[in-house]
Amino acid sequence: MKKFCIKKRINPQFDKPYYVALGQITKKEIKAIEKPLYATVSVIQLDTREEYLGKIDELKLAGATFINH
């Protein structure tokens, strides 16, 4: 089963975290993303496309930085 996911990466070299909208990915892919070589990564998992797009809008309105995947 795939989830809609947004990756949050906290890098000690930057003042604030940044986000990557990943779209739908599998649990296996999520686990691989959550084990980076450097920095701290967490994955926000959402069940529907509407929740996913709403969360992206919410994060952007709060001033979050998104980078392309």
Task: Tell me the pLDDT tens digit for each residue of 9-31.
Answer: 998 888 899 999 999 999 999 99
| Rg of the chain over all Cα atoms, to the nearest angstrom | 12
pLDDT in tens, 26-66: 999 999 999 888 889 999 999 999 999 999 999 999 999 99
Return d(Cα 6, Cα 29) in angstroms, integer.
12
How many domains does the structure of the chain reveal?
1
State the residue range of the domain holding 49: 3-66
DSSP 38: S
Output the pLDDT for position 46.
98
